[in-house]
Amino acid sequence: MKIVSKFIFFSLSLLLASTTAHAETRYISDHLIVTVRSGKGNEFKILETLPTATQVQIVEEDKSYVKVITPKGTEGYIRRHYVSKALPKQIQIEQLDKKIVGLQQQLQSQKQETKSNQGELLTHQKASSELSTQLNQTQQQLDEVNVKYQTLLGKSENVLNLSTENDQLAEENNLLNSELLVLREENQNFHRSNMIQWFLAGGGVFLGGWLIGKVSRKKQRRF
């Protein structure tokens, strides 16, 4: 029995290890907010909302959806076009900001060393010039990325509004379908009720006619 338990534990460990090994890291692309749902479709429950640049683990995917594990451990589904392997613009901006800070610190350090050591003035001036050039280039890259990021934010806001309107229309459509089913059922019940009333009315007319005829015959016999 102990051997069987050990074998089962070992098999489960291998299975979990293989699942973790195949999980792929991706990022929430440049949108405002992305919803994680319990199933593939807007009709499923929202489990969590993820902002731009959130890192998620891809468990499985198809043409339209990916199953992810969020940083909180939530497992759910996201539309495939909301995730990307590329670093989001927000992370790129943060990295460029850190690079600029580092270059500025290096530049400041070079300037201080230049002041303290006149003998190496020319060498330090050359290094400072190179650092200044790198700083300017990095600043230009940061400006370009910022422009692209702001453009993407504007587009993603429109996408989010369209998605919200689509969800509302889907809910209204479901409500109208439910009301239509109720009306159909009431209509069928109304038809059944009318048929029964007409049947009873016809039976009453027939019975009344039969009684009138019978009474008439009795009167004729008396006379």
Mean pLDDT of 124-150: 82
Mean pLDDT of 123-152: 81
Q: How confident is the model at residue 48 (pLDDT cuts 50, 70, 90)?
A: very high
Mean pLDDT of 148-153: 77
**Which is more confident, 5 or 65?**
65
Query: Is pLDDT above 60 for 121?
Result: yes
Residue from 71, 69, 75, 66 nearest 45 by CA: 75
Give residue-wise pLDDT tens across range 69-84.
999 999 999 998 888 8
* Per-domain boundaries in the chain: 23-84, 89-178
How large a percentage of the chain has pLDDT more than 70? 71
pLDDT of residue 32: 64
Mean pLDDT of 73-101: 82
Report d(CA 51, CA 69) in Å as an integer: 14
pLDDT of residue 86: 73
**Which is more confident, 152 or 80?**
80
Computed over every residue of the chain, the mean pLDDT equals 76
Query: Is pLDDT above 60 for 151?
Result: yes
Sign of CA dihedral 100, 51, 83, 61: positive
Tell me if the domain spanning 23-84 has CATH number 3.30.310.160.
no
Query: Is pLDDT above 50 for 17?
Result: no
Mean pLDDT of 186-213: 74
